[in-house]
Structures are given as structure tokens and as C-alpha cells.
Chain A
Amino acid sequence: MDSNKKLFLLDAFALIFRGYYALIKNPRITSKGMDVSAIMGFTNSLLDVIRREKPDYLAVAFDKGGSHARTEIFPEYKANRNETPEAIEIAVPYIQKILKAMHIPIIEQLGVEADDLIGTLAKQAEKEGFQTYMVTPDKDYAQLVSENIFMYRPARMGNGIEIWGVDEVKKKFEIEHPEQVIDYLGMMGDAVDNIPGLAGVGDKTAKKFIAAYGSMEGLLENLNELKGKMKEKVTANAELGLLSKQLATIKIDCDVTFNAEAYKLSAPDAEKVTTLFEELEFRRMKDQFFKLFDADGNPATPETVKPSQVRTKSTAGAGQFSLFDAGDDQSNASKTTSRQTIDSTTHHYQTVQTSGLGFKLFLQNLTAQTSVCFDTETTSLDPLVAELVGIAFSWEKTNGFYVPFPEDRQEANTLIQQLLPFFESENIEKIGQNLKYDIKVLDKYGVTVKGPLFDTMIAHYLINPDMRHNMDILAETYLNYTPVSITELIGKKGKNQLSMRQVPVEKQTEYAVEDADITLQLAAHFTPELKEANTMELFNTIEIPLVKVLSAMEIEGINLDKAFLNSLSSELSQDITKLENNIYEQAGETFNIGSPKQLGIVLFEKMKLVDKPKKQKPDNIPRLKMYYPTLPRTIKLLPIF
């Protein structure tokens, strides 16, 4: 039997909750107002496992209707739980749809919890020679770990993934066999699941008891060896202890059957996945998803799981494209998307010749309009150093013009003079996305933009303040249209990235006029929405006039005392070194103060500032401050990093 067959079993709710709470302070909201944090968190974990580990077999287990077996013996089990947040309730059907589209089996059974399902399946798969990885942050699973069953804790907050095998579990819990995790959990209890445990027994005592007596039963048989209060308490709670152990035991005899064939990871239905991601407005996730298909050229060796074996192409079904061997499908994203693009839309974008009769006619036409969208193309994201490469104009849907600018500054200045009647017209409304940028660029050419303004970025900020406002997202959300991406035009960030100036003028035209066209369409879309939200006045009397005020302030800048600043910088770095040394002295070791994890270990485990830190997070620090006067020194250092 092939000892390298890897099975990954995911605990859906553990990952969903984790994703949801990770984003609780800054949740992901779609334009329709739906909180998709939980869906995103889960899907991220799923794609991450697939990307890193390239599993052969994978399935996802869901809780459904609590645990009948456990509430039967202990009605209070998980009775203290808060209502599930709506965002999570909404998330589950979506996640199941995504899984179905990816052809990943969903395991659920009414009245049975995911850990019991996973426990049962893992043990069955072990007998068939599989290596099983239980993907979950929940430490309770440690009891199932064996030679061939591992816990796989996904990456989180900068910490890498963790894989717990037998040795890791033994070390973490200070026990001899992973099954003793059950005794440990039974003694400790679990506030989250409302498992009572033995009163007065915490982490340390539980470990001590297990070291001495081996198990809950062993402890109860040797009650006479205990002393004082502890003896009383444990004796009185003996039954509760046994019950707790029973509650903490993950079942390995549920009514499910491991079916290798069904769990085999196969090619997903890319079209369905795309449609779902688009509905959820998962732009980056979609890109990542299609990168997974793209791994043919360089199948990465799994980073962590050992033993490992790189998959070979032959594992793909004949004629069918496998998850990792999709070959050349750079174009997959656009092929399968339902969104319009420049290629699927009839459009008329023209490059304007900047001399002769044609240009005259263009200028006549431009200045005869009452409302025009414009967009500058430049050499830099910083408007104060950017040079004009061209300006796009659009006043009619799917139509527009591009005026390319010469590199020679003198010639550019002459050309812009001819556009002054437009820019300085008090009557023509100027539409744009982030107009402050264009205003600042044009200011360097001596152009003051006058007349009414309509900024689509600001309009959307008033309509939907919590969403993101960049043009590509707005276009996809409100116009169901994916604009040409800037990286297609000038390449990815880095030293090989082209300047807009180096792009052939026909391509500049297509790209730039598309932007102006799309922005014009967005403005038409947002105008009634601003009215509906009663924010038109706020838009026209505050936010829009403020654009010009802020532009002027930014262009003006402020003087800095550079000599003073330089001496301050060197003083600061000396201070930092001093503070660091002071901290290392108190901690008795050097460590990375910038790492919350390492700081947590020093503060809570080594220096034991708090007996039972619930979470090693900075929130705990203010409370500590009163008792530990030395601490502010550490804290003072934190914001500097």
C-alpha cells in the first residue's frame, strides 16, 4: 500500500469561526451589505492547505444540530454558547456551495459533531494505510493523534502552520500517550464547551495527576493519596470528573464510512467557483484560485508535510485537467468569467492627432460639452513628480478620446495650453476618479481645474463608507465589468516594470479611455444613489470643495527643520537600543520584541506576569501596567516598530 497517500479532513466550523473573529474589527462587507468575513476566512484556509500541501484526498466535516450523544448524558453541554452570529449562519450555505463547485465532499450528520466524524474517518483511513491530517485549530483533536494521524493547525497572525504528531502532543501536554489528552481535558474542563471538569484543577495540577496516576480513573482509585482541600474537592466531584472525561472523548465509531474514491481531489468546476467568487466579491481569491491551477510549470514541493512526494503529471485523469496540472490557463479567469471586458464590449476609443484640423474639431467638440470625464496618464503614482503621458476624455458611454503628450516639457506645455478652455471652463462639469491626483498633476503644468467636479471615489465613499473604493472594484461591482489591468500593460511592480511612456500609444489609448469611459458610467450610476441617501448636498457643498482645498494644502507642503530631525533620528535610535537592552535585562534573554508571540512567551510564560493569561494579546497589557511598573518601558517601544 502506498504509504504516501495523504488525506486532509477539515473541521469547517472551527475554521469558519476563526476566520470570522480574525476579521471582526474590520469585516469584509460586499457592496450589497453582506458580511463575508467568515466565508473568506474559511476559503482562505482551504486554498492555503491545497496550495501548500497538494493533498491527494480531502473532505470537510460540518457540525449539524449539536451532539445528541453528549447532550443526552449532560444537557448543559455547550449550553452557555452565545447565539451564532448571522454572518456565520449566512456563510455556511455559501461555503457548501463553494465546496460542491470544487467537488469536495461535505460530511455531516444530524446530531453528530464534526470532531466525531473526523475522528471516525481518520481511524478508518489509518487502517487503509492513509496519513491523515486533521485541519483545525482545536487542541481537543490531539487525543486522536497517532503515527499516521496528525493535527494540522493552519497559519495565523504571522505564525506558520503547526503540525502536531505524537511527539509534539506528548510534549505539549506532558503525557505519555495522546489518548491521555482526554484525561487532561476531563480534569481541566472546558469553559467554551461548558464541560465542568474537576473543580480546582487547572493545567498544572491536571498534568501532575496524569504523571502520577496515568488517567482520571487512576486518580479516582488513589484518592487516599491526596491531601486537604484537594482531596475533598476531587472526592466530591468524582462523578463529574468521569462525566467530563466522557464528554471530552471524541468518538471514533460514528456511522460514516471512509470512501477513498469519493474523497479524491479532482478538477473543480471553475465556472461555478468563479460565479460564486464574483457574487461574494472575492477578487484576490479568484486570482489565487486560478494560480492553483497554474502550477504546472513549477509544482512546489510541499513546504511542511513530510514525508512528501511531488505529484507527477501522470496522476491526472486522461483528458481531464487535474487541479495542479491545468497547463496553460492564464486566460482561464477571463474565459470563465461572466463579466464584460474590453474584448467583449463594442467600443470606440480614438487617439487624437495633436495637430491640424482633427485636433481643432476635437477641441470644439470637447468644449461644447456640459459634462466630461477625464483621466491623466502619468509616469508616477506621486503627483508631485509625475509627468503627463496623456489625457483621456469621455462624454458618451463606450466612446472616448486620448490625447498623447510629448515627453519634451516645452512641447507638453504648448499642448496643454490648447486644453485650457476645457480645464478652466466654469461651465463644464469634470468627472473623475480621485480627482485630487489629476488636479495636482495639472497644477505642475500651470493648469487650474475649474468648474463643478464629480469624483466617483468620493461619491462611493458617501454611499458606502465601509467598502473599498478603487475603480476596478467599483467597475466589477456596479457595472459587472472587468477593466484592463495595469499590470497587463506595464508589468508587475519591480525594476522591470515599464513606464506608461514606454507603452505603445494604441495600448495607452485603449487603457486610458476605458478608465474614463468606466468612470463616466460609474458617475451616472452613483448620482441617483447619492440622492437616495440624501447626501448630495454633503457631496456638493463639503466633500467636493474640499478636494481643491486639500490639493492646495498638499501642493504647498510644510517646511521641516532637517538638521534637527537628523539629530532626533540618531537620538531615537540610541534610545531604542537602550530600551531594548533594558528589556532584555529584565527578561533575562534577548528575543524579538516586535513579535507578539515571543513577547507573550516572555511576559506570560517566563516572567509570569499573569497566572492564567486567557490570550496573549496586547489588550492584556494595560491591565498589567498597574502591577508592573517596568512594563511601560516595553510598551513605549512597541509603537516605534
Chain B
Amino acid sequence: MPAQVNPNTQRVHTDYIQTVAATGRLSSNNPNLQNIPIRTERGRQVRKAFVPRNNDHVLVAADYSQIELRIIAALSNETAMMEAFNNGEDIHATTAAKVFQVALDDVTREQRSHAKTVNFGIMYGVSAFGLSNQTNLTRSESKELIEAYYKTYPKLKAYMSAQVDFARENGFVQTVLGRRRYLKDINSANAIVRGAAERNAVNAPIQGSAADIIKIAMINIYKKLNDGNYKTKMLLQVHDELVFDVPKNELDIISKLIKHEMENAFKLDVPLDVELGVGDNWLEAH
């Protein structure tokens, strides 16, 4: 990465590619921000290297929390899940309480962690086999867990089937803004090939809608920053996160502006939630 510093500006100028990821997400090159690991120590260290332009500035990182899960909750109209989001509950704990049929206060750490794994895995079509690899559950325990999950959130299951049916009929699926993904293998007679297309039928609209939403936010924020003649600059976009270089005297107003624009980029029947961090490097802000 040090080699990618531009000799004239002494800064690193990532190149975004708008046309590579078929889901609608952006990708980036030189450096590729997507493959900086999020949770590992090394990833943390690399983030630490990204700093504001000088001491009068700070970095602000704004991250959509659980955006994909919120999208699937809203699109499937799964009331139980929407309620949890509307009440600002811890969605994984709530899910655990429902799935394992215990009181919210009695949810153990382990139960919450299992619920979290299923919550995130479900839209990627996780199987009992996959779940048992990611957790300490056996394959039959995993199977039971997935079944209990679908029972807890029956509309989610119905939505997923409806997406697959839609794809079978139309040959494509689409996002909230009508971005299409064509799935020509959806009617394949080969089970492996068809299975992959079916998982995409569920996943592509979710990931693609998340991409749509952050793109709207970027366009609106960019316009607001220009119109307001702010000195703040939007610098990076990675996953569900935006990073800004903010003069300290603009910090309060800009923080509000960013949060407002991101949370209101698109109207879903569940609230969008943005976590905002401030720091002297990307790791601190993240």
C-alpha cells in the first residue's frame, strides 16, 4: 500500500469500480478496501494507517448497522422481526429468545451467538451443514435451529420462496430500485446449479438493495456538502460504511447531516440505523 501513494498529492487515491459486482455493490482497487479484514488484528492495524489530512481534522466513519437484515425484514413484511427493529431491540437476542423459547433476559451468550449466525446466514441460504461448520452445533441441532427459525419468522420463509418463484417466472430478481440480476440457471434440471441460482434469487435483491441505499446516501450527502459549502470531504466507501475527513469545527453539524442523510436515504418499513464514530485514524473512528 505505501507504493500506492501518489507522489504529487502524497495521498492514496482508491479507484472505485462501478461495473464489476453483479449485485450492484461497488468494488475498489489500488488499494482494494474490501479485502482489509474487519475483525482481525491485522485489519485493525491497516485501518490505523488511514488518517485525517491534518490536526485540524478528524475522520468520521458512518456504518449502516444490520442493513441487510433490516431490508429482508421489511421486504418480507415479517412483523415479528420488524417489531424488534422498530422497538430498537437487540435483534439477535430477540431472535434467540423466540427461537429457543426463553425469556429475553434468560438468553445466554451462546444462544445469542447462534441466533446471530442464523440471522446472517439465512439470506445466503445457509444449510444445516454450513451452520454446523460455523458453530459448535451438530448437524441435526443445526437443522432443528433452522426449522425453529423459520417457524419464528414464517413470513421470511414465505418471502424467500416467493423470490425464487418470481425468478423462475421472470428469469430475474430485482432490488428496491429495480436493479436486476438475471438468473438463467433458476430452472436448471441440475440440482447443484439450480440451488446456487435459488440462493442468488434471495440474496441478490438484499445485497443489491443495500447497495442502492448507500448509493442514494452518497449522492445526497455529496450534494449537501457542496450546497452548504462545507469543507468536509467524503473519502471512502467500503461495505456499508462511509468515511469522511471533517474539520473539527464542522464536526457537530456534519455528524448530524451524515446520520440524517444515511438513515433517510430510503424509506423502508423498519428504521435504518447508522453508527457513527470519530477518531484520529480510521480504526478509532470505525
Contacts and interface: CB of A to CB of B under 8 A. Distances in A.
Interface string B214-251: 01101100100000000001111100000101000000
A300 to B, nearest CB: 35
B162 interface: no
Interface string A534-570: 1101100011011111101111111111101110110
B281 A469 contact: no
Chain A interface size range? 35 or more
Interface in A499-527: none
A553 B189 contact: no
Given A384-B6, A549-B218, A549-B234, A557 B189 contact: no
B87 interface: no
Nearest to A619: B133
A562 B222 CA distance: 28
Interface in B173-221: 177-182, 184-185, 188-193, 196, 212, 215-216, 218-219
Interface stretch (B43-51, B67-75, B92-100): B43-51
B11 interface: yes
A383 to B, nearest CB: 9
A41 to B, nearest CB: 15
Contact of B182 (A33, A543, A552, A561): A33
B11 A558 contact: yes
Contacts of A457: 18-19
A80 interface: no
A24 interface: yes
Interface stretch (A81-89, A152-160, A181-189, A286-294): A81-89
A281 interface: no
B222 A561 contact: no
Interface stretch (A46-54, A359-367, A403-411, A458-466): A458-466
Contacts of B196: 24
Contact of A553 (B6, B35, B234): B234
A325 interface: no
A64 B148 CA distance: 47
Nearest to A21: B192
Contacts of A572: 42
B2 to A, nearest CB: 5
Nearest to A86: B188
B19 A549 contact: no
Contacts of B281: 561
B52 A559 contact: yes
A168 to B, nearest CB: 32
Nearest to B280: A561
A623 interface: yes
B53 interface: yes
Contact of B5 (A533, A537, A562, A569): A562
A548 B50 CA distance: 23
Contacts of A385: 6, 8
A542 B18 contact: no
**Interface of A, helix, strand, loop or mixed by DSSP:** helix
Contacts of B243: 558
A83 to B, nearest CB: 4
B86 to A, nearest CB: 27
Contacts of A420: none
A213 to B, nearest CB: 40
B64 to A, nearest CB: 17
B180 A533 contact: yes
Interface in B9-44: 9-16, 18-19, 22, 24, 26, 35, 37, 40, 42
Interface in A434-486: 436, 457-458, 460-462, 464-466, 469
A565 B49 contact: yes
A327 interface: no
Nearest to A534: B178
B49 A553 contact: no
A436 B17 CA distance: 10
A622 interface: yes
B192 A558 contact: no
A242 interface: no
Contact of B179 (A35, A462, A636, A639): A462
A538 B2 contact: no
A565 B1 CA distance: 8
Contact of A557 (B6, B19, B185, B190): B6
Most chain B Cβ neighbours within 10 Å, of A29, A84, A538, A553:
A553
Contacts of B8: 384-385
B18 A436 contact: yes
Most chain B Cβ neighbours within 10 Å, of A556, A558, A626:
A558
Contact of B48 (A464, A533, A535, A561): A561
Contact of B178 (A86, A538, A558): A538
Contacts of A552: 222, 234
Given A85-B190, A549-B219, A537 B42 contact: no
A548 B45 CA distance: 31
Contacts of A461: 18-19
Contacts of B184: 29, 33, 35
Given A85-B193, A542-B177, A558 B219 contact: no
Given A457-B19, A465-B181, A623 B2 contact: no
Interface of A: 24, 29, 33, 35, 82-87, 384-385, 436, 457-458, 460-462, 464-466, 469, 533-535, 537-538, 542-543, 545-550, 552-562, 564-566, 568-569, 572, 622-623, 626, 636, 639
13 contacts: A82-B192, A85-B193, A465-B182, A469-B19, A535-B179, A537-B177, A542-B177, A546-B18, A549-B218, A553-B235, A559-B10, A561-B51, A569-B2
- A-B interface, 6 closest residue pairs, ranked by CB to CB distance from nearest: A557-B11, A461-B19, A83-B189, A557-B13, A85-B190, A465-B22
Given A537-B178, A565-B1, 17 more contacts: A24-B193, A85-B188, A85-B190, A86-B185, A385-B6, A462-B179, A465-B22, A465-B24, A542-B219, A549-B234, A553-B14, A558-B14, A560-B2, A564-B48, A568-B49, A572-B42, A623-B133
